[in-house]
Amino acid sequence: MLETIDFAGDENIGVYTRVFEDFAVVPLNATEEYVSAVEKKFGIEVIKTTIQGSSIIGSLLVGNSNGLITSGLATPEESAVLKNCSNVMFLSRTMNAAGNIILANDEIALVHPNLPDRYAEKISEFLDVPVVMMTIGGIPTVGMAAVATNTGILVSPGITAQEIKEIEDITSLPIGTGTVNMGSSLVGTGLIANSKSYLAGISTSGYELGRIEEVFGFE
């Protein structure tokens, strides 16, 4: 079974793709081969779009079973595509790369510590989960420093004991450290996953794949 893949030669597949439980979102320029690989691996529908005219879907989109959060700069046409999939919340301020600044599953959301409190409260209400404003290993772009599914959370190996405790205070899901693409600690850039399966960047080693499978319970 395919475990690693690239996007147009780029190992950072998490920057371009966002996978949820029932569907995935990829850029308009995704090849049919790439779309087919995602469809077969996860067994879900794949939606093609841009967000604010860009292909970096993974950086601009996040969510859980209750809804999607994306950039307020999404066009009406792009917004309509997303609204056809789920409820959508738009970030209308300059810090609008939702996939970079928010990490979410059905139990918890972590958000960039510099996001205003009122936005954190809106995110909590919209996704219907507790929200923690924090860093992961000192990295404020928590959406790229970790990958969260409903079966586990893979985090950057630089995470501190205090940061782990902050997450453990909210969820009982297993939390484990790991890397992708031969040592990248920004695991969200090179990994897409849900509770059913995963795909990692093409350079991800066998050891790194084993760690991913351990944390998410795919062994």
C-beta separation of 52 from 74 below 8 A: yes
Rounded percentage of the chain residues whose pLDDT exceeds 70 = 99
Helix, strand or coil for residue 200?
A: strand
Q: Which residues contact 41 (CB under 8 A, 6 or more apart)?
A: 1, 2, 197, 198, 199
pLDDT at 1: 58
In whole angstroms, give the CA distance from residue 198 to residue 38. Answer: 9
Q: List pLDDT tens digits, range 94-123.
A: 789 999 999 999 999 999 999 999 999 999
Q: What is the pTM of this model?
A: 0.96
Q: List pLDDT tens digits, range 54-75.
A: 999 999 999 999 999 999 999 9
Per-domain residue ranges of the chain:
4-208
CATH superfamily ID and name for 4-208: L-arginine/glycine Amidinotransferase; Chain A (3.75.10.10)
Q: N- to C-terminal Cα distance for the chain?
A: 13
pLDDT at 2: 85
